[in-house]
Amino acid sequence: MTTDFAPIRHESAYRKVAAALLERITSRTLSEGERLPSENDLARQFGVNRSTVREALRELQGGGLLVRERGSKLMMVTRPARDLVVDGVSRALALHDVSYLDVWESMTLLEPAIAECAARRRHAEDLRIIAAAVAAFAGPRVAAAVAVQRVGDFFLAVGEATHNSALMLAHEPLVQLLQPSLAAMIDKLPQARARIAAAQQNIAAAIVARDAVAAREWMAKHVRDFRRGYSLAGIDLELPVKRGG
């Protein structure tokens, strides 16, 4: 019996340089704000051409891990902006054919816990932002696309009130992927906007009162209500999510 072996992968030199630098950055050997040596110095240390180093730096810069300060030729270590990370996760989920049902089930697990955490940890400024999101959605009727964006704004405002970066990195991609299905449902059901507005008001009131149990329960009801809305609107939740609608 013979065994098939996979071909050996020959990585480009610039990817090996990028991987070595990435390991130093993620291990915090290279700290945020620290400048890298010049391209010539890096090329000498790695034993590669300067063009190879430049390509590696360009890749890490595109990932938000390096930035070149104005007026400087040296790259500096930085943290990738959260929206860049979130957008990448959201895109990856969509490319893996995540369905609307997958997104909804994930939100049923995550969002109630986020609301509970927000009720315990919120600051005064968080309450102001949440109240503004609630008022914006409950205001004069707007186009479906704007209304859906405001639903997302409310979820994000509640998430920010947890002051937990790990939760937000899990939460924001789901909110992005939720929006296309809401856009398809929100104007098919006359009661949808009123039910969303009422749920937001109840969740916000619980967070204001620091009532973690009520915040969790109202958020769970709110997310469950989306499933009923999809069913009434005839939306097939087994379909894969398409970013941007």
* pLDDT per position as a tens digit, 26-67: 888 888 888 999 999 999 999 999 999 999 899 888 888 888
Higher pLDDT, 148 or 83: 148
Mean pLDDT across the stretch 142-146? 91
Token duo for residue 234: 């005839």
Concatenating the DSSP letter of every residue in 28-94 gives TSS-TTPBPPPHHHHHHHHTS-HHHHHHHHHHHHHTTSEEE-TT-SSEEE-PPPHHHHHHHHHHHHH
What is the chain's Cα-based Rg?
23
Measured CA to CA, the distance from residue 126 to residue 154 in angstroms comes to 11
The overall average pLDDT reported for the chain is: 87
Mean pLDDT across the stretch 69-94? 74
**161 neighbors 130 (Cβ within 8 angstroms):** yes
Mean pLDDT across the stretch 194-217? 97
Token duo for residue 55: 């390509």
Any idea which architecture 13-77 has in CATH?
Orthogonal Bundle (1.10)
**134 neighbors 201 (Cβ within 8 angstroms):** yes
Question: 148: closest CA among 161, 133, 164, 163?
Answer: 133
Measured CA to CA, the distance from residue 91 to residue 238 in angstroms comes to 18
Per-residue model confidence (pLDDT) at position 90? 66
Listed in order, the ranges of the chain carrying CATH 1.10.10.10 are 13-77
Listed in order, the ranges of the chain carrying CATH 1.20.120.530 are 83-233
pLDDT band at 157 (very low <50, low <70, confident <90, very high): very high
Measured CA to CA, the distance from residue 82 to residue 39 in angstroms comes to 28
Looking at domain 83-233, its CATH class is mainly alpha
Listed in sequence order, the residues at least 6 apart from 148 whose beta carbon sits closer than 8 Å to its beta carbon are 179, 182, 183, 186
Structure pTM?
A: 0.73
Per-residue model confidence (pLDDT) at position 88? 67
Listed in sequence order, the residues at least 6 apart from 172 whose beta carbon sits closer than 8 Å to its beta carbon are 82, 86, 89, 90, 156, 159
Per-residue model confidence (pLDDT) at position 184? 79
Per-residue model confidence (pLDDT) at position 9? 61
Per-residue model confidence (pLDDT) at position 95? 65
Per-residue model confidence (pLDDT) at position 245? 45
229: left (phi over 0), alpha (psi -120 to 50) or beta: alpha
